[in-house]
Amino acid sequence: MQAERLAVTPVPVRSDRPQAERPEEVKLIGVARSFARDQEIYGQGEDAELVYKVVSGVVREVRMLADGRRQIVDFRFPGDVFGVEPGAARQASAEAVGEATVIVARRSGVVAEQPQALWRLALSDLARSQNHALTLGRRTASERVVAFLLDLEERHDAGEAMIELPVSRQDMADYLGLTIETVSRTLTQLQHEGLIQLQGCRQVRLARRQTLCELCE
Amino acid sequence: MQAERLAVTPVPVRSDRPQAERPEEVKLIGVARSFARDQEIYGQGEDAELVYKVVSGVVREVRMLADGRRQIVDFRFPGDVFGVEPGAARQASAEAVGEATVIVARRSGVVAEQPQALWRLALSDLARSQNHALTLGRRTASERVVAFLLDLEERHDAGEAMIELPVSRQDMADYLGLTIETVSRTLTQLQHEGLIQLQGCRQVRLARRQTLCELCE
DNA sequence: CGTCGAATTGAAGTAATTCAAACTGTGTGG
DNA sequence: CCACACAGTTTGAATTACTTCAATTCGACG
């Protein structure tokens, strides 16, 4: 786990993202740290004095029940800031999905310097979360999977036809409130229906965009 | 729908709520408006230039799918501020659950005067929403209902034994991602297990608190 | 007392889960 | 370079929690 000083954020702004979604970038100046696959960045209940920005890799925010049931509350991609909490204690834990590196900064400093940007961030996270609640509460398995794929594509770098699934089936399942088997079955079913094409288990091409979008209303 | 000028907020702060949850009250100065049962306060897609504070009654925030499936994203009780959005357009609609009166203010004014309080509000709404996602994604029907009852009790005014269910079975169902029948069955089942006592369909007493809490971990 | 919307209860159906087995692909050591 | 091992994924069959559809009951209100 190396640590080095970094000038501001060297992360390219994704150009395809609508401006409303990224109103102003939160700028983090701090130390870079790398985490191994599945390594915990912070844990539920810990002190929430640090905030983070993804440089590379993917991070998942996780809430767990005592018996091990797991809900992934959101994924964080390069450029995303995470770890800002309402109270002193972390409500969720954060883990590196694969190898990931993040910039770490003190919460207090960022709050003092960029209150506006942090507020916007909280509001857009809230909107995302409420959307997620709609998915979890009212959509069927295939609607959930399609919603996830479309969200991925929207947050994805380029407009390439082939998008990379950055997370395992288990992570998809824990994000979508399903089991790994249901996710897998749903993907192959979508493929049979000609709505997507899978290439290995980590590459998807979305076909018939229109139909896919309609599936999520 | 009467409208009159109101001095600051005449709403009593709930004393039982932990301080961390209500770090600083957002103060709204504005016009009071009353809404009839099921009346829309604002609709999905409308311009989000106003913010609201509940004076009396209960408000639900609703997201809908095209075919009518409905997810209640949160309930707002007296003292709660709602309607602050990340963008220009409303992501959800808000409706009065029963007769309700709210204070209305311009977003821009509140943002200018109380950025800090609004930020805290957004963060605590986010925490609530992520918790809700855990419930919707990973909890069973009885766990969901118990979680709802405990949340209600926590937000409830006094420490009275009997708590009033402020919403219909349909609203509970749409909040918990269940059907009205499942909610009803679950409540009677909890009663048979001696975990709650129902008095009519709007009054509940929580018994065996410890066991109830353990059900939600 | 009768009416009407809301809630409860019952029976049948189903989407998703669970349990179990087979497959795939990737890295490792012979 | 091939064979093996192993983790992740896919597929299958049986089960189940929740839904759906259909009555029935409750309770507030004229």
**Which tens digit of pLDDT belongs to each residue from B15-47?**
444 444 555 789 999 999 999 999 999 999 999
Instruction: Give, in degrees to the nearest 5, the angle at Cα A121 between A117 and A125.
Output: 175
pLDDT at A177 over 50: yes
d(CA B84, CA A71): 26
Residue A157: its pLDDT value, please?
A: 72
Mean pLDDT within A57-65: 97
Any A CB within 8 A of B91 CB: yes
Asked if A65 and B130 come within 8 Å (Cβ–Cβ), the reply is: no
Identify the DSSP state of A47. B
Q: Which of residues 129-168 of A touch strand C (CB under 7 A)?
A: 140-142
Mean pLDDT within B91-107: 97
Average pLDDT, chain B: 90
Asked if B66 and A217 come within 8 Å (Cβ–Cβ), the reply is: yes
- Does the predicted model carry a pTM greater than 0.85? yes
Sheet containing strand A31-35, strands side by side:
A3-5, A31-35, A100-106, A50-56, A81-82
**Nearest residue by alpha-carbon distance to C1' of D10:** A184
For chain A, what percent of residues have pLDDT higher than 90? 83
pLDDT band of A159, cuts 50, 70, 90: low
User: Which runs of E-coded beta strand occur in B78-152?
Assistant: 81-82, 93-96, 100-106
Mean pLDDT within B86-105: 97
DSSP A4-39: EE--S--PPPPTTS-GGGSSSPPP--SEEEEE-TT-
pLDDT band of B161, cuts 50, 70, 90: confident
Q: Which nucleotide is nearest to A182 (CA to C1')?
A: C16
Any B CB within 8 A of A158 CB: no
Q: Which of residues 30-49 of B touch strand D (CB under 7 A)?
A: none
pLDDT at A70 over 70: yes
Asked if A131 and B71 come within 8 Å (Cβ–Cβ), the reply is: no
Q: Which nucleotides of C are covered by protein (CB under 7 A)?
A: 6-11, 15-20, 25-26
